[in-house]
């Protein structure tokens, strides 16, 4: 009998000119990029938080402090790999994840296959178990004004 657990993640990063825009492990070409202590990949951050939450292992900032110079500019794929190790050390495997990126511009859809391939490799999880979706906020709020990007993730994990 498997033991199933669910987790949820939410994160926001500012968008500003002069920064790279990393999302789902790939770099998007855009006039603005995401601001953070790390590479500010909001999609990877919510995946980390949902997985950590599902395993009751606190959150991304608890494990990788945004005050620690070691993580300045770090590739979030490295953090996700670490989270997968923490998860598997506790005896868990990923069932599936479902994510939504809230972003006014640019369009995410054309990049979803590349993001899924990248995340599948980093996580060691089949692409069919990684869902990525996107929505604008119809020009409303900080996302609508193109001041920021947010994302949500739910994750199902299990142990045998």
Ligand X SMILES: C[C@@]1(CO)OP(=O)(O)OP(=O)(O)OC[C@H]1O
Ligand Y SMILES: Nc1ccn([C@@H]2O[C@H](COP(=O)(O)O)[C@@H](O)[C@H]2O)c(=O)n1
Q: Is 66 annotated as a binding residue?
A: yes
Single out the segment in contact with ligand X by CB under 6 A; choices: 66-74, 83-91, 94-102, 139-147: 66-74
The binding track of 113-152 with respect to ligand Y, each residue x by CB under 6 A or -, is: ---------------------xxx----------------
* CA distances from residue 40 to 23, 59, 145 in whole angstroms, order as listed: 8, 15, 19
User: Least Å distance between CB 125 and ligand Y?
Assistant: 22
Output 13 or 111, the one with its CB closest to ligand X.
Answer: 13
Q: Does 71 bind ligand X (CB under 6 A)?
A: yes
Q: Is 2 annotated as a binding residue?
A: no
Q: Does 42 bind ligand Y (CB under 6 A)?
A: no
Q: Taking the CB of residue 115, how many other CB atoms lie within 10 A of it?
A: 22
Query: What is the rounded distance in angstroms from the CA atom of residue 81 to the CA atom of residue 124?
Result: 9
Q: Does 61 bind ligand X (CB under 6 A)?
A: yes
* CA distances from residue 135 to 27, 38, 99, 100, 108 in whole angstroms, order as listed: 19, 24, 11, 7, 9
8 Å CB contact between 24 and 111: yes
């Amino acid at each position: 009998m498997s033991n199933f657990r669910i987790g949820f993640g939410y994160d926001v990063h500012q968008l500003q000119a002069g920064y790279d825009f990393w999302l789902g492990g790939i770099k998007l070409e855009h006039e603005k990029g995401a601001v953070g202590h790390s590479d500010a990949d909001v999609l990877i951050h919510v995946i980390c938080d949902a997985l950590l939450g599902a395993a009751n292992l606190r959150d991304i900032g608890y494990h990788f402090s945004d005050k620690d110079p070691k993580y300045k500019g770090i590739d979030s794929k490295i953090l996700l790999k670490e989270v997968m190790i923490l998860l598997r050390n506790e005896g868990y495997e990923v069932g599936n994840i479902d994510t939504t990126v809230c972003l006014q511009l640019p369009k995410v859809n054309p990049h979803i296959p590349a993001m899924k391939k990248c995340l599948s490799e980093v996580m060691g999880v089949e692409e069919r178990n990684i869902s990525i979706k996107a929505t604008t906020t119809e020009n409303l709020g900080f996302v609508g004004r193109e001041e920021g990007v947010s994302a949500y993730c739910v994750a199902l994990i299990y142990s045998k």
